[in-house]
Amino acid sequence: MNVLIAIPVFNEEKYLARVLSQVLTYNPRVLVVDDGSTDATPAILRQMPQVQVLRHPANAGYGQSIIDALRFGQDNGYDWVITMDCDEQHEPAMIPSFLRRIRRGGADIISGSRYLAPRSFAGSAAPADRRTINQLMTQTINKHLGLSLTDSFCGFKAHRVEAMKKVALSELGYAFPMQLWVRAVAAGLSISELPVKLIYNDPTRHFGGELDDPNHRLRHYLEVFFRELCSVRPAEPASQNAFACCA
C-alpha cells in the first residue's frame, strides 16, 4: 500500500517545520502544495528535501491545492492520498488511525469527523459561525445525497486514488467539499467517517474577502452545492431523496 500525505499550505511559516517533522515520523511520502505563500514557507520547504513540493506561483485556492494533490497521487502511482491541514488543527498522530481504517477496506473516502469523536477526544470549541454553518450544510448534504455525515467540512481525509479517478473536480475555493460530496455520490463511491479531535488554535483565522461574512459564506456554499446537485445525473441515486432538486 503506497500512501501519500498531502498538505496544502498558504503562509504557514509558524507551524510548517514542526508539523512536517511529525508527519514524516508516520509516513515518509509527503507532498506539500504551496498555494503561493509570501512568507518564509518556501524557504522552510527548501530546507526539507525529503518533502516533495508543488508550488503555485500565486494563490489559487484551497480546492485547487487538493485537486493538484489528488492528481499528483494519480500520476505517481499512489494507492491512497491522505490530505490534512498544516495549522496544527489536524494531529499527525491520527495518521496511523487512517492507515488502519484503509487496511480494513470497504471505503473509497475516509473523512475525519470532529463531531463523531468520543469524549476522550474532546478539544477546543469551534467558533460559533463555523459550527452553525457546518451543521446546516451537513444536514443539507445528508438530506439530498442520502448520506449520514456528521462533519462535511473536515479536510483530514483519505482518498482511494483509483476511485477518485471517477470524480471530476473543478471547484477551486473553500466550497470544494460541496462539489466533492455531490460528485463522489454520483460516482458511487463508498464514504465513511473516522473520529478526529476538534482543535481550533486560532479562532481569529479568516477565509478572506466576502467569505469572512458568515451569511455570505453560507449562501456561497449553498449555491455551489445546489449547482453541483443539478449538474449530475447518476444512474442509481444513493436514496430516494438524492438529487431531488433535479427531479
Is residue 235 predicted with pLDDT exceeding 60? no
Nearest-CA neighbor of 183 among 126, 228, 241? 228
Please check whether residue 96 lies inside any domain of the structure. Answer: yes
Q: What is the pLDDT of residue 246?
A: 47
- The number of domains in the chain is 1
Q: For residue 84, give the amino acid letter.
A: M
The pLDDT-based confidence of 203 (bands split at 50, 70, 90) is low
- Residue 154 is part of a domain; what is its CATH number? 3.90.550.10
Please check whether residue 94 lies inside any domain of the structure. Answer: yes
C-alpha R_g of the chain: 17
Is residue 53 predicted with pLDDT exceeding 50? yes
Q: Which tens digit of pLDDT belongs to each residue from 150-194? A: 999 999 999 999 999 999 999 999 999 999 999 999 999 999 999
The phi, psi pair for 108, rounded to 5°, reads -100, -35
Please check whether residue 245 lies inside any domain of the structure. Answer: no
> What's the grid cell of residue 32?
506539500
- What mean pLDDT comes out for the span 193-205? 76
The pLDDT-based confidence of 213 (bands split at 50, 70, 90) is confident
pTM over 0.85: yes
Please check whether residue 247 lies inside any domain of the structure. Answer: no
Please check whether residue 211 lies inside any domain of the structure. Answer: no
Give the Cβ contact number of residue 123 at 10 Å.
Answer: 15
Please check whether residue 113 lies inside any domain of the structure. Answer: yes
Report the percentage of the chain scoring pLDDT > 70. Answer: 86
Please check whether residue 209 lies inside any domain of the structure. Answer: no
Dihedral angle of Cα 6, 226, 237, 138, to the nearest 10 degrees: 60
Task: Give the structural domain span for 39.
Answer: 3-128+148-203
The pLDDT-based confidence of 131 (bands split at 50, 70, 90) is confident
Nearest-CA neighbor of 167 among 153, 156, 177, 175? 177
Indicate the average pLDDT of the chain.
89
Please check whether residue 137 lies inside any domain of the structure. Answer: no
Q: What is the pLDDT of residue 159?
A: 98
Is residue 12 predicted with pLDDT exceeding 80? yes
